[in-house]
A and B are shown apart, each in its own frame.
Chain A
Amino acid sequence: MAAVSGLVRRPLGEVSGLLKRRFHWTAPAALQVTVRDAINQGMDEELERDEKVFLLGEEVAQYDGAYKVSRGLWKKYGDKRIIDTPISEMGFAGIAVGAAMAGLRPICEFMTFNFSMQAIDQVINSAAKTYYMSGGLQSVPIVFRGPNGASAGVAAQHSQCFAAWYGHCPGLKVVSPWNSEDAKGLIKSAIRDNNPVVVLENELMYGVPFEFPPEAQSKDFLIPIGKAKIERQGTHITVVSHSRPVGHCLEAAAVLSKEGVECEVINMRTIRPMDMETIEASVMKTNHLVTVEGGWPQFGVGAEICARIMEGPAFNFLDAPAVRVTGADVPMPYAKILEDNSIPQVKDIIFAIKKTLNI
């Protein structure tokens, strides 16, 4: 070790004689982690760190989770921390809220967020509003998580995106991770947050592996809620998205880069509170804006971004009206060809970008 540090301290010229026999450092192979495993790790670490944290939902224990996200947790932590509930979303969401009010830190899993509608009164009226209604006396440190948005071949009642619905409510924090790093950092921040947090995962992303940077492997790796990330720097246009469509935006950006158009792709990470500073700074730089989301257009995430841009300083920097790329305004059909055409595809994003840039 002393020899190595000696090598490092000397300027390179002096070292040339020793170069033939220097150590060769290979960078460690990039660690690939799927989104599913990242969420699993995040929950595992938080369950270990704080014994007040527990997970409840349908099929989370012995079955390892309906989508295997909680794999191995029941084996490790047992019945008291990982709880299988009867089929009653209203019931177990209410139980979770009560537990949070009494001092525990529940993670309430909905099999998909579509079924959270059965429990939405508990989420909104009991979890979201209580801190305000109690004048700051009663906090509800709860996490609601589960897959959100379109999957594959599961039709209307399993494919709705709830980002806009939950993003609408004061009192809730809403996050929407895209890759593994987002997933782990955001779930950990959500669990440690004393407010009710809705974590909108994506079923199709669960199995996708991403490179896990070294800092993400730490047990204290947190991503701050309310901060977006610029996934790709660009100069011609700002493309804002959340969850799975971020991947599509990056693909579109790669295609357009060959044509000389450099897109700045922003991964929102948090829906509420929205990081308008990052978006505004980017729009002021590029002068063009396209928003991309999987949800329906009316009263959606894109609509909110456009409204806020108009209300803020970035409006004066726009050279063209902002364009929203969204899911089709229909309940999700089942037949593959109909379904494919009901969600934003890479070609739709490219089309919108070109339209905005007038090329």
Chain B
Amino acid sequence: MAVAIAAGRVWRPNRGLSQAAVLLLWRPGARGLARSHPHRQQQQFSSLDDKPQFPGASAEFIDKLEFIQPNVISGIPIYRVMDRQGQIINPSEDPHLPKEKVLKLYKSMTLLNTMDRILYESQRQGRISFYMTNYGEEGTHVGSAAALDNTDLVFGQYREAGVLMYRDYPLELFMAQCYGNISDLGKGRQMPVHYGCKERHFVTISSPLATQIPQAVGAAYAAKRANANRVVICYFGEGAASEGDAHAGFNFAATLECPIIFFCRNNGYAISTPTSEQYRGDGIAARGPGYGIMSIRVDGNDVFAVTAATGGPKARASSLSTTGACGIMMPLHAVGLWHLVSHQQELSTAPKPKGTTKPILESYLNSLFLGHSRYQLCIHQDAVRREKPQSNLNRESLI
């Protein structure tokens, strides 16, 4: 890789001259022309050594014909802090978040959930044309938002309202955007859920999938060039990761060494297309190392795990250094996908009678496995509960 970079510097100014230069660099055995790279120290080879000297590859020779089977390597393990009952498994991994933060996380998730119900109903009643709920994914939004600084730039796909919620975007503006009314700062131009807020560093949502990925990388590159102490986070779903833009984005993030966190929300479905038809191999997380991106797989229903992975010293600090991009993949619990199958996109123009909240939906929302509920249980066990009973919080959010 270092060799390629050196070639790049020779290539651009004067094409004629560099033709010869590039050929020189790519001959096996060429030495001394590569700069040392933080990750890979170029060795000084003597031409007598029987070691691989291919540019762009660092490996040993093997004389046995062996293919790497894609499904033989076991899947990247899933990091979690809490078990399904909300108990912290390993006390040393307890993030020890301050009380106010814990409460804020909970309030944001509850408020988001309530807003979702109201706006989802609105769509079914024909009052707005379109809505996307965030059911099951609240933990990923607020967990990651909590780990970032307020000035960190956010590029979302369409299911990241919780990030804005955590950054205290007023409810009135959420509603105004969905309704396209006179209070909408977007002046009624955008479809619902296409939020954006310059003050809160949340880039306006754009409909075509995965276009935000290379844009986020560009923004991260700009931040790096400006020496701004900020990180860019880019959210996308596992389906959007199939787009060509995703490949380009990941590749550039790694080669340009941008301070960016890629956050993949994997809920198992893209409308009705299951992951088995979307991709093969060990999911999106496994692609990270292929691009040269530090990666982790995290249980998206576990808020503490999400916060730790996004903001922990490893992710944030290293993304600010020259080593660049970091990838986080969030498989969400299978339960989340039930209503995501039915409510992926509320687009149908046929209005339904008022008050049709499906009873099955309700029971899933209260289910043990949703991040929201698991978090509830965690707070139960905390002394925090005595100061602010959670039922109060639930009621407050409905007001």
Contacts and interface: CB of A to CB of B under 8 A. Distances in A.
Given A59-B272, A335-B188, 20 more contacts: A62-B272, A63-B272, A63-B273, A84-B272, A86-B279, A87-B243, A88-B242, A88-B243, A90-B243, A114-B207, A118-B244, A152-B349, A153-B128, A153-B129, A154-B130, A155-B194, A156-B190, A158-B207, A334-B189, A338-B188
Contacts of B207: 114, 155, 157-158
A237 to B, nearest CB: 34
Contacts of B279: 86
Given A59-B273, A118-B208, A156 B244 contact: no
Contacts, number: 87
Closest 9 CB pairs of A and B: A153-B129, A335-B188, A335-B180, A86-B242, A63-B272, A157-B207, A155-B191, A87-B239, A87-B242
A331 B186 CA distance: 13
A66 interface: yes
A262 interface: no
Contact of B208 (A84, A114, A154): A114
B338 to A, nearest CB: 16
Contacts of A117: 208
A206 to B, nearest CB: 11
A336 B126 CA distance: 12
B362 interface: no
Interface string A60-88: 00110010000000000000000010111
Interface string A303-346: 00000000000000000000000000001011110100000000
Interface string B239-252: 11011110000000
Interface in A274-301: none
A229 to B, nearest CB: 29
B379 to A, nearest CB: 37
Dominant secondary structure of chain B at its interface with chain A: loop
A66 B188 CA distance: 26
B278 interface: yes
A155 B277 contact: no
Given A63-B271, A66-B271, A84-B273, A154 B129 contact: yes
B206 interface: yes
Interface of B: 128-130, 180-181, 184, 187-192, 194, 206-210, 239-240, 242-245, 270-273, 277-279, 349
A87 B244 contact: no
A156 B189 contact: yes
A210 interface: no
Given A62-B272, A84-B277, A338-B188, A115 B244 contact: no
A44 interface: no
A59 B341 CA distance: 12
Nearest to A89: B243
Contacts of A86: 239, 242, 270, 273, 277-279
A87 B189 contact: no
A155 B271 contact: no
Nearest to B279: A86
Given A90-B244, A152-B129, A334-B180, A157 B206 contact: yes
Given A58-B273, A66-B271, A152-B129, A87 B188 contact: no
Contacts of B191: 153-155, 158, 334
B95 to A, nearest CB: 34
Contacts of A118: 208, 243-245
A338 B270 CA distance: 31
Nearest to A204: B349
Contacts of B130: 153-154
